[in-house]
Amino acid sequence: MAAMTSTIHPTPIAAPLPGRWREDPVLTVEHLTMRFGGLVAINDLSFSVGRGDITALIGPNGAGKTTVFNCVTGFYKPTEGRISLRRGRGISSATLDALTKSGGQSLKADGGELFLLERMTDFKITEVAGVARTFQNIRLFGGMTVFENLLVAQHNKLMAASGFTIGGLLGLPGYRRAKEAAQDRAVDWLRRTALLDRADDPAADLSYGDQRRLEIARAMCTDPVLLCLDEPAAGLNPRESAELNELLRSVRDQFDTSILLIEHDMGVVMEISDHIVVLDYGKKISDGTAAEVKSDPRVIAAYLGVDDEEVEAVEAKLDEGDVEGAIAQAHVEPHVEGGASA
């Protein structure tokens, strides 16, 4: 992206529509800052993920998207900020403040459970809070079968069922039941991802698109409350992208799992997202529905990566509210059919 040296004056945007991310957030990120030495990768970032929503985190290369994921999933300890996850509705801000003051990591209250992720290890964030993630580069166990990959994902649940003893080897009833449930869950996800006929093949033998779906199946086998997907559509052909959209919609509609995804494919983002958060240089520049975000001049300017000599002309178009003209001026093809692209 070219450097943006000019100030783009945003045109007024209509009053925001009500959104689940405001009324019933599952994840709330507040004043998150992440510094690497002198580099400020994330700068005072606040946003929410609505329960039952597909939320996309988008922005140009280097905007800080993966760093946000790494903070939410415990791979990085944020320099500053609070990251709270609510299991169950109706957990009040008073409860959140009480947990923050107590210095603890989690609190059962208001019929649900609240977690402060910035205080937890990555292991606890996955196993206790219920946050699952996939990576930009596929990280399956390539030598294991597709089915085994889904069982390994449930290993910790099985260990807990064995009481962390040799109960598993002895075939204790509790362990046997947990093992059967794990197998049933794996088969169910193989069906949902159309991978049942590949169950006994090594994961490495699957096509790229199948491996991406297997990663999502593996994450879903842990029953997450929040599923974080890092560029799930990367490298997919149009048919595979369409299948991915279907899969993500079915996760949203049929499970108690909210989705936060990083994605560069604007076709996927605009089609499936209930809510989009846009970053540039570690700061939030826009936050709203697809319709709100894709006509936001700040987003267009950031994405077009306007060259210095074109800034004034593009700015003038944006000031007039002529989004299409700004895009034409910058000689960039819109990514989204029928309108301006984010």
Ligand X SMILES: Nc1ncnc2c1ncn2[C@@H]1O[C@H](COP(=O)(O)OP(=O)(O)OP(=O)(O)O)[C@@H](O)[C@H]1O
Cβ of residue 126: shortest distance to ligand X, in angstroms? 20
Cβ of residue 27: shortest distance to ligand X, in angstroms? 17
Q: Which is nearer to ligand X, 190 or 277 (CB)?
A: 277
Long-range contacts from 66-69, C-beta under 8 angstroms, 24+ separation? 66/136, 66/230, 66/262, 67/34, 67/41, 67/42, 67/282, 68/29, 68/32, 68/42, 68/279, 69/133, 69/228, 69/230, 69/260, 69/262
Cβ of residue 277: shortest distance to ligand X, in angstroms? 12
Task: Give the closest residue to 82 by CA, choosing from 27, 32, 24.
Answer: 32
Q: Which is nearer to ligand X, 96 or 279 (CB)?
A: 279
Within the chain, where are the H helices?
Answer: 20-23, 65-72, 93-102, 122-124, 146-152, 155-161, 167-170, 173-192, 208-220, 238-254, 266-272, 290-294, 297-304, 308-319, 323-329
Q: Which is nearer to ligand X, 4 or 203 (CB)?
A: 4
State CA 36 to chain mean position distance: 22
Q: Which is nearer to ligand X, 234 or 336 (CB)?
A: 234
Cβ of residue 195: shortest distance to ligand X, in angstroms? 27
Q: Which is nearer to ligand X, 36 or 208 (CB)?
A: 36
Question: Measured between alpha carbons, how far is 306 from 315 in angstroms, rounded to an integer?
Answer: 10
Cβ of residue 35: shortest distance to ligand X, in angstroms? 9
Instruction: Write out the residues near ligand X by the rule CB under 6 A.
Output: 36, 39, 41, 59, 61-67
Cβ of residue 79: shortest distance to ligand X, in angstroms? 12
Question: Measured between alpha carbons, how far is 275 from 264 in angstroms, rounded to an integer?
Answer: 15
Q: Which is nearer to ligand X, 35 or 157 (CB)?
A: 35
Question: Measured between alpha carbons, how far is 266 from 272 in angstroms, rounded to an integer?
Answer: 10
Query: What residues are paired with 35 via a beta bridge?
Result: 40
